């Protein structure tokens, strides 16, 4: 779609008067040479990066969602003029309130940034003297955040960044005991919290928190937007969404809806204001783009979109199930989070000599690159195709690629393991080379034929270690777990004499290199005398 067509669509939006500047100085065509023929030169390929067909969903690691044309047009329009940011925030806050029925709205630099800013607002109450002292909360009245254990997750780092003490509870009774004059807020994940009657639902928590005037922040990052908002109706004070997921707004924007006074303090705690939120800058383009996404959300034909997504999955299903032994089913979720139909394609890995995980690895690493889910259980294997972020034409590419892979004849995999090239039982000292530092870890291993068990002492904890050795190839795995985080260490190493060397795959944290040598004990061989009683001198 041409940019002038984007702007024509933008003119149809019921935009708040005075927020959008006049369009001026917009080039009719892009000037950069890398845009001249997109069919021949994809912008990502121009820097040597191969794009991906998204059959996985709104994962940030692959770009979240595709912005709506109206959103891109709004962002382009916003980029043409300067604006005073507080005035812009006030205008957007009013407009979001009109659109959603919430008391107020704020656009943040992503959902996680929004969690951080709301926490700062609840800790400071809008007092800038307190704001600039964060994360040193000495002397503050509000220093604690209560989180039900089922809501602990990697994103509550954003809350902990403010310096608060996190109190984890398991029951409503524990929640009641945990709330006190120091409680700044309660944080809960939306998933499951909307079900009335659940022991830790939003309604149940609100009954305890509201009489004490303790705010409730609901993290609904991956949810579809409900108008009127289901979480606010059930007692939440603030609800936070990711702009770049279901709403299809800017990837680097978040949407906060709820109580105006707290959201005014939330905006105060974010950029352009100095303090702990200055590092989470949201531009005028993203702010206007997020508002346009909400405008567009209200006008989108969601039922028609769902039918389109189902049609794509049916087309893929029809193609792959023409292969004998391949079956499929479509799951239509009713939960608000990650709400998109999913095609499950299953087969017997013993018949096809490939698992769903192996197929997903092939499609993810070779052209055309396709991101899909995979799962194996009870002697069956499967892949999952999520259609919510697929684009027109993707369904044919995906169907053809899956048909090609599943139609290939493969030899049965060897069931016997190659004999080990050595014995690695013992203690090994490993030097791990991260991007900009080194650490010394300890691997204690016991070998039983091809199988390895033991422990991995990292920088802070000792965790279980498991793995295999075939020939001189060693694969090991351990997992560092915290209250809300985990880091997987998958060692792929080569054994040579008394040394190991190779890579450590750490998932989203990428790859490190390591070398390890067998530990040589230095102690002398001497008898140890056991005293017959307590010492006579010290």
Prediction pTM value:
0.88
What's the pLDDT score for residue 29?
36
- What is the CATH topology of the domain spanning 302-407? 3.90.1150
pLDDT, averaged across the chain:
91
pLDDT greater at residue 42 or residue 29: 42
CB 111 within 8 A of CB 251: no
- Please give the average per-residue pLDDT across 196-206, as a whole number: 88
- Please give the average per-residue pLDDT across 149-172, as a whole number: 95
List, for residues 101-143, the tens digit of each pLDDT value: 999 999 999 999 999 999 999 999 999 999 999 999 999 999 9
What's the pLDDT score for residue 36?
44
Query: Which residues are CB-contacts of 364 (< 8 A; sequence separation ≥ 6)?
Result: 52, 370, 371, 372
Q: Count of CB atoms within 10 A of residue 287's CB? A: 27
Q: Which residue has the tokens 């770009």?
A: 63
**Minimal CA–CA distance to 388: which of 10, 84, 66, 18?**
66
**Distance between CA atoms of 297 and 84, rounded to whole angstroms?**
27
**Distance between CA atoms of 58 and 307, rounded to whole angstroms?**
19
**Helices (H), ranges, 45-178:** 69-78, 85-100, 111-124, 128-131, 157-160, 172-178
Q: Is the pLDDT of residue 38 over 80?
A: no
List, for residues 418-466, the tens digit of each pLDDT value: 999 999 999 999 999 999 999 999 999 999 999 999 999 999 999 999 9
List, for residues 258-299, the tens digit of each pLDDT value: 999 999 999 999 999 999 999 999 999 999 999 999 999 999
Q: What is the CATH number of domain 3-299?
A: 3.40.640.10
The dihedral over CA atoms of 384, 385, 388, 394, expressed in degrees to the nearest 10, equals 170
Query: Which residues are CB-contacts of 80 (< 8 A; sequence separation ≥ 6)?
Result: 21, 23, 24, 25, 26
Q: How far is CA 200 from CA 31, 188, 206, 274, 403, in A?
A: 55, 9, 10, 36, 45
Q: Where in the chain is the domain with CATH 2.40.128.120?
A: 426-518
**Distance between CA atoms of 160 and 446, rounded to whole angstroms?**
39
CB 123 within 8 A of CB 134: yes
What's the pLDDT score for residue 109?
97
Angle, CA 283 vertex, CA 282 and CA 287 arms, to 5°: 85
**Minimal CA–CA distance to 249: which of 216, 298, 306?**
298
- Percent residues over pLDDT 90 in the chain: 86
Q: Does domain 426-518 have CATH number 2.40.128.120?
A: yes
What's the pLDDT score for residue 171?
95
List, for residues 70-111, the tens digit of each pLDDT value: 999 999 999 999 999 999 999 999 999 999 999 999 999 999
Please classify residue 432 by burial: count the beta carbons closer than 10 Å to its beta carbon, then call 0-12 exposed, 13-18 middle and 19+ buried. buried
What's the pLDDT score for residue 523?
79
What's the pLDDT score for residue 302?
96
Query: Which residues are CB-contacts of 412 (< 8 A; sequence separation ≥ 6)?
Result: 353
Q: Where in the chain is the domain with CATH 3.40.640.10?
A: 3-299
Q: What is the 3-state secondary structure of 224-286? A: CCCCCCHHHHCCCCEEEEECCCCCCCCCCCEEEEECHHHHHHHHHCCCCCCCCCCCCCCCHHH
Q: How far is CA 75 from CA 85, 96, 241, 353, in A?
A: 15, 17, 19, 49
What's the pLDDT score for residue 22?
33
pLDDT greater at residue 382 or residue 31: 382
CB 65 within 8 A of CB 387: no
CB 257 within 8 A of CB 242: no
List, for residues 317-351, the tens digit of each pLDDT value: 999 999 999 999 999 999 999 999 999 999 999 99
What's the pLDDT score for residue 35?
39
Q: What is the 3-state secondary structure of 385-428? A: EECCCCCCCHHHHHHHHHHHHHHCCCCCCCCCCCCECCCCCEEE
Tokens of 400: 């053809």
- Please give the average per-residue pLDDT across 497-517, as a whole number: 96
What's the pLDDT score for residue 40?
52
- Percent residues over pLDDT 70 in the chain: 92
Q: Where in the chain is the domain with CATH 3.90.1150.180?
A: 302-407
Angle, CA 481 vertex, CA 154 and CA 279 arms, to 5°: 30
Tokens of 325: 């032994």
What's the pLDDT score for residue 483?
80
């Amino acid at each position: 779609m041409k940019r002038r067509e984007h702007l024509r669509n933008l003119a149809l939006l019921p935009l708040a008067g005075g927020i959008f500047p006049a369009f001026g100085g917009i080039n009719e065509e892009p000037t950069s040479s890398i845009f001249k023929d997109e069919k021949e030169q994809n912008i990502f390929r121009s820097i040597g990066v191969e794009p991906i067909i998204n059959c996985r969903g709104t994962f940030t690691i692959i770009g979240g969602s595709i912005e709506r044309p109206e959103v891109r047009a709004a962002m382009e329009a916003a980029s043409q003029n300067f604006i005073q940011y507080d005035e812009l925030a006030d205008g957007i806050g009013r407009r979001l309130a009109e659109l959603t029925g919430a008391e107020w709205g704020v656009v943040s630099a992503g959902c996680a940034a929004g969690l951080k800013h709301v926490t700062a607002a609840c800790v400071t109450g809008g007092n800038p003297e307190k704001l600039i002292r964060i994360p040193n909360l000495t002397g503050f009245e509000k220093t604690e955040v209560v989180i039900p254990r089922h809501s602990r997750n990697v994103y509550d780092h954003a809350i902990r960044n403010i310096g608060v003490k996190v109190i984890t509870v398991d029951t409503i009774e524990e929640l009641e005991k945990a709330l006190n004059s120091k409680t700044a807020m309660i944080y809960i994940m939306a998933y499951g919290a909307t079900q009335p009657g659940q022991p830790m639902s939003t309604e149940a928590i609100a009954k305890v928190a509201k009489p004490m005037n303790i705010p409730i922040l609901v993290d609904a990052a991956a949810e579809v937007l409900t108008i009127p908002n289901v979480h606010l109706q059930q007692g939440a004070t603030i609800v936070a969404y990711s702009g770049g997921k279901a709403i299809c707004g800017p990837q680097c924007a978040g949407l906060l809806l709820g109580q105006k006074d707290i959201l005014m303090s939330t905006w105060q705690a974010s950029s352009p204001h100095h303090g702990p939120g200055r590092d989470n800058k949201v531009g005028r383009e993203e702010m206007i783009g997020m508002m346009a996404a909400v405008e567009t959300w209200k006008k989108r034909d969601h039922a028609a979109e769902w039918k389109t997504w189902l049609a794509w999955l049916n087309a893929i299903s029809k193609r792959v199930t023409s292969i004998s032994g391949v079956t499929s089913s479509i799951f239509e979720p009713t939960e608000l989070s990650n709400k998109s139909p999913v095609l499950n394609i299953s087969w017997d890995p013993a018949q096809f000599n490939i698992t769903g995980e192996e197929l997903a690895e092939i499609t993810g690493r070779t052209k055309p690159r396709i991101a899909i889910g995979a799962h194996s259980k009870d002697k069956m294997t499967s892949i999952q195709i999520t259609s919510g972020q697929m684009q027109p034409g993707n369904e044919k590419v995906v169907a053809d690629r899956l048909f090609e892979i599943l139609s290939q004849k493969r030899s049965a995999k060897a069931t016997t393991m190659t004999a080990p090239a050595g014995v690695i039982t013992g203690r090994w000292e490993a030097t791990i080379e991260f991007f900009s530092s080194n650490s010394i870890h300890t691997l204690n291993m016991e070998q039983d034929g091809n199988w390895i068990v033991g422990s991995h002492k990292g920088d802070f904890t000792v965790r279980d270690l498991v793995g295999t050795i075939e020939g001189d190839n060693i694969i090991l795995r351990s997992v560092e777990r915290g209250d809300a985080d985990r880091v997987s260490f998958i060692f792929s190493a080569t054994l040579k004499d008394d040394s190991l060397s190779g890579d450590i795959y750490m998932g989203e944290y990428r790859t490190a290199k390591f070398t390890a040598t067998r530990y040589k004990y230095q102690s002398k061989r001497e008898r140890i005398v056991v005293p017959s009683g307590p010492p006579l001198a010290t």
